[in-house]
Structure 1
Amino acid sequence: MDSLITAAARALATGDPLGALNRVALRDDAPALALRGIAMAQLGDLARAKSLLKSAARAFGPKEAVARARCVVAEAEIALVSRELTWPAKALDAARATLEAHGDRVNAAHARNLEARRLLLIGRLGEAERMLADPGLVPLPPASRVAHELTVAGIAIRRLRTKAARAALDRAGQAAREANIPALMAEVESTALVMDAPAARLIACGGERPLLLEDVEALLASGVVVVDACRNVVRDEGRVISLATRPVLFALARALGEAWPQDVPRSTLVARAFRGKHADESHRARLRVEIGRLRAELGTLADVTATSRGFKLVPRSAREIVVLAPRVEERHAAVLAFLADGESWSSSALAIALGSSPRTVQRALEQLAAAGKVHAFGRGPARRWTTPPVPGFPTTLLLPGPLPSD
């Protein structure tokens, strides 16, 4: 390994892509191409970075399997940052296996962390946790520890384990300070803001107030019956009844929960559940059927009783009933929630993350664009969507070790 390659790799490891390019920008050998690719990725030119890394992988000889595997890991990280969720995950898995087989356990751990980040992004939390729980993990350099701890924090946040999330963020902050890379420190600070921002609204007894993540966690453990409009479930501390596939039943449950302990007139329930302006006899008959179904679904959590003017919820063992609602409610809120991460998304990647059809997501994006809530750039398969203004790509893209074969 020559001195320029060594110096460029060291510059990349400290977050100095321009310093790396000053040393290898005019070279076309395989190690230089790989380092130039990572440098361009750190600078935000992801298309050029992918091209350089592919060229580097081809340029490495058949005996340089480790170097080629490192290039694949770098490509995988670029794909993750650019939200190319259709990028072949099997290629990353094969690269990780190659790195482990050749004793490069640090880069193998980095590849494992990338796999966990992708699983986290598409909501497969259990698989992400198992990926990070590998007993063979080795101590990571500070820059890679940041990415690892941010993934751990992301899983904890989505599971509403706020103490674990804050502990992981503290460890990420310490690692970022050890790495002394401003982009990493900014990424940790940005993630930490989630913990101190309103995450939902509590609607109870005719009023509402914002809740932090800790408040949501405490609410779900308090023993009250929660009509959870964030996940379309009705729950208490130990039971969860999903109504995600029963929108009419959930609309009725939410209307009754918002009014608790009062009842709700039949005409209001018809408007909320069936979107009917006037409750005629057919609406009343359908309402009775749906109320019966809701009563059967809620089971031991709450009963639905009739009153002179409508219906009301009566908790069976809990002391009260509340509604947990998203902080912002509007049509296509789920699409906006994914775009709020500051990255650019393709419609196909959004469809994978949301578990929806690509056409459904495309229609939602077109409606949001018409309302000025999202912007698009590029054409065809390269078309990407963001929330305005179009941000950069805040990514570390630091491989733990040097790319050249050694």
Structure 2
Amino acid sequence: MDSLITAAARALAAGDPLGALNRIALRDDAPALALRGIAMAQLGDLSLAKALLRNAARAFGPKETMARARCVVAEAEIALVSRDLHWPVKALDAARATLEAHGDRANAAHARYLQVRRMVLIGQLEAADQLLAGLDPAAPLPPALRAAHELAVAGIAIRRLRTGVARTALARARDAAHQAGIPTLVAEVEAASGVLDTAAARMISRGGERLLMLDEVEALLSSGTLVVDACRLVVRDAVNVVALARRPVLFSLARMLAEAWPDDVPRDALIARAFRMKFADASHRARLRVEIGRLRTALGLLADVTATGRGYALAPRGTHGVAVLALPVEDAYATVLACLADGESWSSSALALALGASQRTMQRALDALAAAGKVQPVGHGRARRWITPPIPGFATTLLLPAPLPGG
């Protein structure tokens, strides 16, 4: 490898893409194409970066397996940043195996971190944990990769509401990022840390409500309070979880009863909200009795639902009270907005994969949000992406697809 290629690679490792381009901008050999692709990715021109890396991979000879594997890893990183979640995972697996077999531990670790970040985005936390466990955080890796490791640990911990673990990992990530001296990496760590210091949910209890930080949500869920969780559509205490995501009528009834606790809710009010009826007759009241019976059965050991003179009241089995955990800003498409709030541009297919919905459902949701001025399309056809500014002052962790503790 000649001196210009070596200098350009060192500049890229230090987060200086312009310095790298100054050395290799006019060269078209395979190593220079690869480095130019990485430089353009750091500068934000992802389309050109992807094209350069593919040209580099073709230009490397059949015996240069490590170089081609590194191009695959770089292209996978571009796909992740551009939220192309359908990029071929098997190709990245093969590239990682090649790099590990040839002793390139740093790039193999980088490939593994990319896979972990993708899994976290689509809610596969158990798989991300297992993949992360295959890496030794004490291994002699560059500071940038140590920061990546701690960011991955923090990302999983935040999604699981383990704020103590997340804060410790982010502190280590901050130290490693400053050692690396890469401004964009430092900014990424600071952005991740900011999630812990912004409101993540609202607690509604005894007729009042207030915003909660992530550590307060964690404390609430472990306190023994009966929580009707409108973020995950479950009813839970510190030990038991009852999922009602596929039983919207029962969840609606549970939430109304929890919001009114310790008071009762009139039958007509329950019918109007749960059944979406303006007027109630004998058939609706009969249906309400049936649904209340089903709710009693579903809640089991968590709570009972007692009849009163004018309606029904929630009666928790424990003595820690009742609370509703709601989204900070409730919207019919809150989960879509949560993904878009990371500031990246998403395709409808990537959103569908991340949220476990059909692409047609995502397209309808995005069209509705665009009509309301909440999202904005960029590009046309298959290249169309969707962006939106983040909700000011609110974290979006609870909106994303991952089980809460005990779930």
TM value normalised by structure 2 = 0.94
Q: Report the Cα distance in structure 2 between the residues aligned to 1:174 and 1:283, rounded to whole angstroms.
A: 61
What one-letter code is carried by the residue in structure 2 that aligns with 1:238? V
Aligned match of 1:165: 166
More off after superposition, 364-373 vs 100-109: 100-109
Offset, 1:139: 2.6
Within 5 Å, give how 1:383-394 maps onto structure 2: 383-388=384-389
Task: Provide closer, same or farther for how the CA distance between residues 183 and 135 of structure 1 changes in structure 2, counting only shifts above 3 A.
Answer: closer
Aligned match of 2:188: 187
What one-letter code is carried by the residue in structure 1 that aligns with 2:190? E
What one-letter code is carried by the residue in structure 2 that aligns with 1:44? G
Aligned match of 1:224: 225
Q: Report the Cα distance in structure 2 between the residues aligned to 1:249 and 1:189, rounded to whole angstroms.
A: 41
Q: Report the Cα distance in structure 1 between the residues aligned to 2:201 and 2:275, rounded to whole angstroms.
A: 26
Q: Report the Cα distance in structure 2 between the residues aligned to 1:274 and 1:252, rounded to whole angstroms.
A: 10
Q: Report the Cα distance in structure 2 between the residues aligned to 1:335 and 1:306, rounded to whole angstroms.
A: 38
Q: Report the Cα distance in structure 2 between the residues aligned to 1:231 and 1:271, rounded to whole angstroms.
A: 23
Contact residue 343 and residue 389 of structure 2 kept, 8 A: no
Offset, 1:319: 2.7
3-state SS of the aligned residue for 1:288? Answer: helix
Within 5 Å, give how 1:54-69 maps onto structure 2: 54-69=54-69
What one-letter code is carried by the residue in structure 2 that aligns with 1:385? W
Aligned match of 1:400: none
Q: Deviations over 1:283-332 (max 9, x none)?
A: 11111111000000000100001000000100112331111111110111
3-state SS of the aligned residue for 1:223? Answer: coil
| Equivalent pairs, count | 389
Contact residue 225 and residue 318 of structure 1 kept, 8 A: no
3-state SS of the aligned residue for 1:62? Answer: coil
**Alignment of 1:246 onto 2:263:** no
Aligned match of 2:297: 296
Q: Report the Cα distance in structure 2 between the residues aligned to 1:367 and 1:299, rounded to whole angstroms.
A: 38
More off after superposition, 174-183 vs 380-389: 380-389
**Alignment of 1:120 onto 2:120:** yes
Aligned match of 2:400: none
Contact residue 232 and residue 242 of structure 1 kept, 8 A: yes
Offset, 1:388: 4.5
Aligned match of 2:46: 46
Offset, 1:344: 0.1
**Alignment of 1:96 onto 2:117:** no
3-state SS of the aligned residue for 1:87? Answer: coil
Within 5 Å, give how 1:255-266 maps onto structure 2: 255-266=256-267
Contact residue 235 and residue 244 of structure 2 kept, 8 A: yes
Q: Output the aligned Cα RMSD.
A: 1.0
Contact residue 252 and residue 269 of structure 1 kept, 8 A: yes
Aligned match of 1:151: 152
3-state SS of the aligned residue for 1:330? Answer: coil
Task: Flag structure 2 segments of 5+ consecutive residues without an equivalent.
Answer: 391-407
Contact residue 375 and residue 388 of structure 1 kept, 8 A: no
Within 5 Å, give how 1:6-405 maps onto structure 2: 6-134=6-134, 138-388=139-389
What one-letter code is carried by the residue in structure 2 that aligns with 1:67? A
Q: Report the Cα distance in structure 2 between the residues aligned to 1:388 and 1:336, rounded to whole angstroms.
A: 9
TM value normalised by structure 1 = 0.94
Contact residue 109 and residue 135 of structure 2 kept, 8 A: no
3-state SS of the aligned residue for 1:183? Answer: helix
Q: Report the Cα distance in structure 1 between the residues aligned to 2:288 and 2:10, rounded to whole angstroms.
A: 69
Q: Report the Cα distance in structure 2 between the residues aligned to 1:388 and 1:243, rounded to whole angstroms.
A: 31
Offset, 1:215: 0.3
What one-letter code is carried by the residue in structure 2 that aligns with 1:168? A
Q: Which has the higher contact order (CA 8 A, sep 6+)?
A: 1
- Same amino acid, percent of matched pairs: 72
Contact residue 377 and residue 384 of structure 2 kept, 8 A: yes
Offset, 1:136: 5.5
Q: Report the Cα distance in structure 1 between the residues aligned to 2:378 and 2:250, rounded to whole angstroms.
A: 40
Offset, 1:135: 5.0
Offset, 1:200: 0.4
Q: Deviations over 1:198-233 (max 9, x none)?
A: 000110000000000010000011011111111000
Q: Report the Cα distance in structure 1 between the residues aligned to 2:148 and 2:363, rounded to whole angstroms.
A: 31
